[in-house]
Amino acid sequence: MPSIDTRHLNRDSLFLTAEIRLDSANELSRVKVRNLSDGGMMAEGHLMLSRGDRVVVELRNIHPVRGTVAWVQGNRMGIAFEQDIDAKAARSTPGQSQSEAPRYARPAGSYAQYNAGLRKI
């Protein structure tokens, strides 16, 4: 595990779930993701992990990523990813493009069909 301090990296507090498994096991365990950055995450769950354990993390919209448990405190753990991810992609809804506003934030329709203003009834 590298001894480089990554605490200066931007991270977002959020509430997502992820699946974690030991690198040598097949059983997935669901955890709550408490914060996420491109280089790692803090998760909360009832797993028997120790510092230095190698894990595979599955986040939505992200390919499975390998990491190392950096610390464990109670039922929380820090995981440092082996390679950077796109943390913004994990927060977006499946199938939503990054540049497009969510459906609920877009206008309901186009009024171009009423060239002279609103139609009188």
* HEC sequence for 4-64: CCCCCCCCEEEEEEEEEEECCCCCCEEEEEEEEECCEEEEECCCCCCCCCEEEEECCCCCC
Instruction: Fill in the DSSP letter of residue 90.
Output: H
Question: What's the total number of domains in the chain?
Answer: 1
Say if 74 falls within a structural domain: yes
Nearest to 16 by CA among 101, 69, 114, 85: 85
The whole-number pLDDT of residue 88 equals 86
How high is the pLDDT of residue 120? 64
Res 27: pLDDT: 87
pLDDT at position 20: 95
> pTM here?
0.66
- Is 58 inside any structural domain? yes
Residue 38's domain is classified under what CATH number? 2.40.10.220
For 63-81, the pLDDT digits (tens) are 899 999 999 999 999 999 9
* Residue 88: φ, ψ to 5°: -65, -35
Residue 118 lies in a domain: no
Output the average pLDDT for the chain: 79
Residue 43 falls within a domain, yes or no?
yes
User: What's the pLDDT at 41?
Assistant: 94
44 located within any domain:
yes
Tokens read off for 13? 């507090």
Q: Residue 57: give the domain boundaries.
A: 13-94
Q: 57 lies in a domain?
A: yes
Task: Mark the ranges of the chain whose per-residue pLDDT is less than 50.
Answer: 1
